[in-house]
Structure 1
Amino acid sequence: MRRLIAIVTLLAATLSAPALAWGLTGHRIVGALAQDHLDARAQAGVSRILGTESLAEAAPWPDFMRSSSEAFWKQSVPLHYVTVPTGKSYAEVGAPSEGDAVTALAKFTAVVRNPASSLADRQRALRFIIHIVGDLHQPLHVGRPGDKGGNDVKVSFFGDPTNLHTVWDSTFIDREKLSYTEWANFLRVRQTPDNLDAWSNPDPQVWIAESAAARETIYPVTPDLGYAYVFEHKATLDLALERAGIRLAAYLNWIFASPSRQR
């Protein structure tokens, strides 16, 4: 009986815990893809701030730090997502009073660009930028009002009880049993000059609109998700990760561009 109670308690904690974004593997895939497309200014700028730390290493850090006792991290959860009702644009609804991923991206960008910012502040800001760009390409981090980005949508994934947000953050990716470098390599060889050019847009409004459109296609008809769901949505998952990597590079290239190129 005690063992049963322990299992039920653990399951309840798993289902009620706030989901992270992409999970470790997903964020590292995005970082690895972006690393390929940094221009010389961005490479130098990132190195000045992060040293030898790669984008893949930096990308999951804001999720790791959510366990910190520092007040900033206890209040940082809203900075990982935006909420956009179906049929609306982010520009129409704007940010809530506590801020969101878009306001955080603007704030952290200003910190990175400010030569008076301390190195510690610039490191935190740059790691958060790397993370947020990935977040905004996870369709359920551009959430509908009312279901906490799919956290309240209870499903099973190959028989295991979970929620839709967790499926898209990590379970879907982890089921493939690939390292982040293997997955990044599979996506890397698909890139063409045409899609690199088409996806190199540093405007978060574009990313949000795409994620909101993708979000509308991934809510399941049945809560029992398995092979059919994976078959239907694997291309959506790959495209989101691939675009996120290209957009992260484009955004960092824009941040570290000369002032004349930033206008």
Structure 2
Amino acid sequence: MKKLMIAGLMLAAATTPASAWGPLGHRVTGALAERYLSADAKAAVEALLGVETLAEASTWPDEQRSNPDEFWQKQATPWHYVTMPEGTDYDASMAPPQGDAMTALATFTATLKDKSASLADRQRALRFIVHIVGDLHQPMHTGDGSDRGGNDVKVMWFEKPSNLHMVWDEDMLNHQGLSYTEMSTWLAARITPEKVQAWTVTDPKVWIKESATLRPGVYPSNQMLSWQYGYDHIGTAKERLSMAGVRIAAYLNEVFRK
């Protein structure tokens, strides 16, 4: 009977979509990024977003997924990930017709730099950039094309149905029981000037390569995940969040450099 119940829960999980770092992870990266913005970048962000913080902006692209507008339902869906088969380098030809996170990042960067673009378009571009940089640091957002970035790898997380993608997006981080302000403060305390210098890389192909290198090691040997899996991988997840925060700032500093 227990096996039948688990099988039923796993089947239910198969229809549960996972998208990106969850709200906690994205807000952590946004909060961290604000600590490393240059004066020019900080002023530009405030001019575009007003009182909206980067932590708040970071989750906006996910919050719009249910927006019935064709833009959200037909175009924007693939802009949270890239596909990079094992043993290859990133190639835009692997992207869906609508593009992927890399092509979207380039498009939104051009819009953000275009001072003739409308305020609404530049705001959308900024929010997407913050979100996409975060996404590309999650190992399962650089999928190998075989399992939808781990969405098809069904697991049990502390006896609740999930999938490998969701474990990395939300389950491990939420299990910490921290708010995004608590987690970002704790992580920031451990980001030394040496780490900031080493992590200040604005080439997204480098971020993707790092995620692809980490990817094989996150696949579990069995479907029942709990304390041991978290112990083995939470350090990597926190480091990727920290790196993403530093790099969001570095990327924006470069975009807004005068």
Q: Given the two structures, how large is their TM-score scaled by the length of structure 1?
A: 0.92
Tell me which residue corresponds to 1:3.
none
Structure 2: runs of 5+ lacking an equivalent: 1-6
How far residue 10 of structure 1 moved from its aligned partner, in angstroms, is 9.2
SS in 2 for 1:161: strand
How far residue 234 of structure 1 moved from its aligned partner, in angstroms, is 1.2
Count how many residue pairs are aligned between Structure 1 and Structure 2: 251
Tell me which residue corresponds to 1:15.
14
Q: Distance in 2 between matches of 1:69 and 1:104?
A: 20
How far residue 193 of structure 1 moved from its aligned partner, in angstroms, is 1.2
Counterpart check, 1:51 vs 2:87: no
How far residue 95 of structure 1 moved from its aligned partner, in angstroms, is 3.3
Distance 1:65 1:11, change over 3 A: farther
Tell me which residue corresponds to 1:251.
251
Q: Distance in 2 between matches of 1:216 and 1:195?
A: 25
After TM superposition, the runs of 4+ consecutive aligned structure 1 residues lying more than 4 A away are: 8-14, 91-94
Aligned amino acid, residue 191 of structure 2: Q
How far residue 116 of structure 1 moved from its aligned partner, in angstroms, is 1.1
Q: Distance in 1 between matches of 2:79 and 2:17?
A: 13
Tell me which residue corresponds to 1:41.
40
Tell me which residue corresponds to 1:204.
204
How far residue 186 of structure 1 moved from its aligned partner, in angstroms, is 1.1
Aligned amino acid, residue 216 of structure 1: P
User: Deviations 1:145-202 (Å, cap 9, x if unpaired)?
Assistant: 1100000001101111110001100011111110001111111111111110010111
Tell me which residue corresponds to 1:134.
134
Tell me which residue corresponds to 1:122.
122
Asked whether the equivalents of residues 41 and 257 of structure 2 are also in contact (C-alpha less than 8 Å), the reply is yes
Superposition pairs of residues 1-263 of structure 1, within 5 angstroms: 14-75=13-74, 76-91=76-91, 95-258=95-258
**RMSD of the alignment, in Å?**
1.7
User: Deviations 1:43-88 (Å, cap 9, x if unpaired)?
Assistant: 0111111111100010000000011011111121100000001111
SS in 1 for 2:104: helix
Asked whether the equivalents of residues 25 and 180 of structure 1 are also in contact (C-alpha less than 8 Å), the reply is yes
Q: Distance in 2 between matches of 1:28 and 1:183?
A: 10
Asked whether the equivalents of residues 81 and 141 of structure 1 are also in contact (C-alpha less than 8 Å), the reply is yes
Structure 1: runs of 5+ lacking an equivalent: 1-7, 259-263
